[in-house]
Amino acid sequence: MAAPSPPAPPPPGTIIGLRIPPKQQDEQHHSTVIQMPNDECAWAQGYPNIQKGCFLGRVCQYAHPKQCQYYEIESLLQVGPTCGLVALSMMFNGEPTPAELLADAKKNKYTLNGEMFSAQYLYELTRRNLDRRTGSCQLHEGALDCDKIKKLLRAGGCLLVPYDADTNHAPCLKSGHRAHWALVVGFLVDENDEFYVFARHGKTRNIAVWSLATLSQSNANLTQFAQPKGYPDCTFHQPEGGLAGPLGLMNRCILINGLPQQIVHVC
């Protein structure tokens, strides 16, 4: 008698495809499909930008967050070393445009090519544009990982934050040699009470999800200027005292309140 056939292997786990709508596509403007198990970040299935960001950042993969809210702000990609101006334009939904902000910054001698190595200068641009609409801003000095920042985000505020960007654009510690600007548009508190932020910046159309503590450490290490590798022949304007000086980037960010955009409360 022939030996009985072995039992059939169990079916593979169900996989879902998360398709990002055209307005949220990547830099090449191709539709992006992320394959993930149907139980990973399932709590955010109704919010594809947040689900994709948390899946890529390995945040709240299987546990529902305690709190999660954000502004639905359209991404803009930077052209040239204009990350701070692009982050500011995103906050205003593209009006003024990055090009208009660049002209204003050049007129006020804040920049030569779009670079913003001074939180004070970007704060002055922010304040001048907020004067024409609702909202208020404040230049914050000190650590980002503090009750003041968390309270602001819980109240629906947002931040313009300089930090060192790694090759994947996440916060790192390079002493300011990879200084970059991001717009923090919301937050998440995980099951262990760790505080994360949602951020937009000019290098990708994806929402980034970063630990606030990690972003704070990166912001605090901005001490030295380094010539950006992509612009070896460009001259950049640095504020008096450098990145670590009173007009620089270290331990500084811009707090914004009262934006007209509607807050999305996920949980």
Calpha distance 222→182 (Å, rounded): 14
Which phi-psi region, left, alpha or beta, contains residue 185 (left: φ > 0; alpha: ψ -120 to 50)? alpha
pLDDT of residue 190: 97
**At 121, is the pLDDT very low, low, confident or very high (cuts 50, 70, 90)?**
very high
Which residue in 36, 47, 46, 70 sits closest to 196, CA to CA? Answer: 70
User: Is 83 a known active-site residue?
Assistant: yes
Calpha distance 205→76 (Å, rounded): 7
pLDDT of residue 123: 98
The answer to whether residues 141 and 259 touch, using CB atoms and an 8 Å cutoff, is no
- Rounded to 5 degrees, φ, ψ at 165 are -100, 125
Q: Is it true that domain 68-265 has CATH number 3.90.70? A: yes
pLDDT of residue 36: 59
Say which DSSP state 117 is in. Answer: -
pLDDT of residue 229: 85
Region 150-175: mean pLDDT is: 97
What DSSP assignment string belongs to 194-221? -EEEEEE-TT-SSPEEEEHHHHHHHHHT
The answer to whether residues 136 and 130 touch, using CB atoms and an 8 Å cutoff, is yes
Beta bridge partners of 120: none
pLDDT of residue 259: 86
pLDDT at 30 over 50: no
pLDDT at 3 over 80: no
**Containing H/E element for 237?**
none
Which residue in 175, 161, 152 sits closest to 263, CA to CA? Answer: 152
Region 152-174: mean pLDDT is: 97
Say which DSSP state 190 is in. Answer: -
CB contact set of 178 (below 8 Å; sequence gap of 6+) = 164, 165, 166, 172, 226
Residues 39-90: pLDDT tens digits?
A: 799 999 999 999 999 999 999 999 999 999 999 999 999 999 999 999 999 9
Provide the CB-side half-sphere exposure for 173 (13 A, CA).
6
**At 132, is the pLDDT very low, low, confident or very high (cuts 50, 70, 90)?**
confident
The residue annotated as part of the active site, out of 41, 60, 68, 83, is 83
**Containing H/E element for 172?**
strand 171-172
Residues 236-248: pLDDT tens digits?
A: 999 999 999 999 9
Calpha distance 82→86 (Å, rounded): 6
pLDDT at 9 over 50: no
Structure token pair of residue 200: 């937009």
The mean of the pLDDT values for the chain is 88
Lowest pLDDT segment from 7-11, 100-104, 135-139, 176-180: 7-11
The answer to whether residues 226 and 177 touch, using CB atoms and an 8 Å cutoff, is yes
Q: Using N-to-C axis directions, what is the helix angle for 119-130 and 83-91, rounded to 10°?
A: 30
Calpha distance 169→243 (Å, rounded): 20
The answer to whether residues 124 and 107 touch, using CB atoms and an 8 Å cutoff, is no
**At 20, is the pLDDT very low, low, confident or very high (cuts 50, 70, 90)?**
very low
- Rounded to 5 degrees, φ, ψ at 31 are -65, 130
Region 176-194: mean pLDDT is: 97
* In the chain, where the domains are located: 15-63, 68-265
pLDDT of residue 199: 98
Structure token pair of residue 101: 């902000």
Residues 192-207: pLDDT tens digits?
A: 999 999 999 999 999 9
